[in-house]
C-alpha cells in the first residue's frame, strides 16, 4: 500500500483549502503532481486509486484527468526525463539536431528509456521558451540555449549525481 508521509498529507490539506467548501475536486491536478513526484515519477493505477480515495473522488474521475494531461506519466520513466521541444520556433534554432544528438548519446529514440533506467528522452511541444531555443524541460526546470557541449555536460552531471545518490 502506498501512502503519503504525514508532511505530504499536510501539504494535500493545504492544497484542498485553496478551494471553496465542497470543491475539493479542484485539488486533483496539484495532488496528482505531488503523487507523481512522491511515487516514482509516474502514476500507476495504485497511485491513482489512492489519490481518488484521498479526495473522495471516483477512480474514473482521476483516470480521465490523468490521461488528458501530458505531464502525467502513465508508465515508468527514467530517473532523468529530457523533454525536448520540437515546435516551429525551436526548429528555427536547431532543435532537430539536438534531439538527434541526445538520442545518439543515450542510444535511445524519443519515447524510450535507457536500459539502466537513468534517462528517458521525449519530445515536447512548445514549452514557452522559444526565445531561448533549443531547449528542454528537465524536472522542475528548463535547460535552455542547448548546444552539443551543453548536452554532454548535462548527461555527465546526471550520471555523477545518480552515482552519488546510489
Partner 1 sequence: MGRKLLLDKVGIVGIRSYDVYRENGGYSSVEKVLKTMSPDDVTNEVKKSGLRGRGGAGFPTGMKWGFLAKPEGVPRYLVCNADESEPGTFKDRYLMEHIPHLLIEGLIVSSYAVGSNRTYIYIRGEFGWIVDILEQAIAEAKNNGWLGKNILGSGFDCEIYVHPGAGAYICGEETALLESLEGKRGNPRIKPPFPAVKGLYGCPTVVNNVETLSTVVPIINMGGDEYAKYGTGKSTGTKLISACGNINKPGVYEIEMNISVEEFIYNDEYCGGIANGKRLKACVPGGSSVPVLPANLLLKTAKGETRMMTYESLSDGGFLTGSMLGSGGFIVYDEDQCIVRNTYSFSRFYRHESCGQCSPCREGTFWMEKILWNLEHGKGKMKDIDLLWSVQGNIEGNTICPLGDAAAWPVAAAIRHFRDEFEWHVTHPEEAQRRNYGLAGYAEPLKAGV
Q: For binding to partner 1 (CB under 8 A), which residues are involved? A: 18, 20, 23, 25-30, 32-33, 57, 61, 64-65, 68-72, 86-89, 91-93, 125-133, 137, 139-142
Binding segment toward ligand FES, per CB under 6 A, in 1-9, 44-52, 83-91, 146-154: 83-91
CB of 130 to ligand FES, least distance (A): 3
Rounded to whole angstroms, the Cα distance separating 134 from 153 reads 15
Query: Which residue number, 48 or 151, has a Cβ lying nearer to ligand FES?
Result: 151
Please provide residue 23's backbone torsions phi and psi, each rounded to the nearest 5 degrees: -110, 35
Interface with ligand FES, residue 84, by CB under 6 A: no
| Contact of 109 with 59, CB cutoff 8 Å | no
Among residues 77, 108, 130, 162, the one that binds ligand FES under rule CB under 6 A: 130
- Whether residue 116 is preceded by a cis peptide bond, meaning omega within 30 degrees of 0, is no
Rounded to whole angstroms, the Cα distance separating 27 from 13 reads 9
Query: With 0-12 CB in 10 A as exposed, 13-18 as middle and 19+ as buried, what is 28?
Result: buried
Sequence length of the chain is: 166
Q: Which of ligand FES, partner 1, none is residue 151 near (CB under 5 to 8 Å by kind)? A: none
Using CB under 6 A as the criterion, which residues of the chain lie in contact with ligand FES when the complex forms? 85, 87, 89-90, 126-130, 133, 135
Amino acid at each position: 500500500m502506498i501512502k503519503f508521509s504525514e508532511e505530504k498529507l499536510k501539504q494535500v490539506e493545504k492544497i484542498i483549502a485553496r478551494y471553496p467548501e465542497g470543491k475539493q475536486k479542484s485539488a486533483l491536478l496539484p495532488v496528482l503532481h505531488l503523487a507523481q513526484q512522491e511515487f516514482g515519477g509516474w502514476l500507476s493505477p495504485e497511485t491513482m486509486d489512492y489519490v481518488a480515495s484521498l479526495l473522495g473522488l471516483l477512480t474514473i474521475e482521476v483516470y480521465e484527468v490523468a490521461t488528458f494531461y501530458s505531464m502525467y506519466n502513465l508508465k515508468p520513466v527514467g530517473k532523468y526525463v529530457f523533454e525536448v521541444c520540437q515546435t516551429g520556433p525551436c526548429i528555427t534554432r536547431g532543435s532537430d539536431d539536438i534531439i538527434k544528438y541526445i538520442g545518439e548519446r543515450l542510444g535511445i529514440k524519443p519515447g524510450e528509456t535507457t536500459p539502466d533506467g537513468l534517462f528517458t528522452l521525449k519530445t515536447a511541444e512548445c514549452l514557452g521558451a522559444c526565445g531561448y531555443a533549443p531547449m528542454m524541460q528537465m524536472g522542475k526546470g528548463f535547460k535552455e540555449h542547448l548546444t552539443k557541449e551543453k548536452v554532454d555536460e548535462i548527461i555527465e552531471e546526471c550520471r555523477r549525481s545518480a552515482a552519488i545518490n546510489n
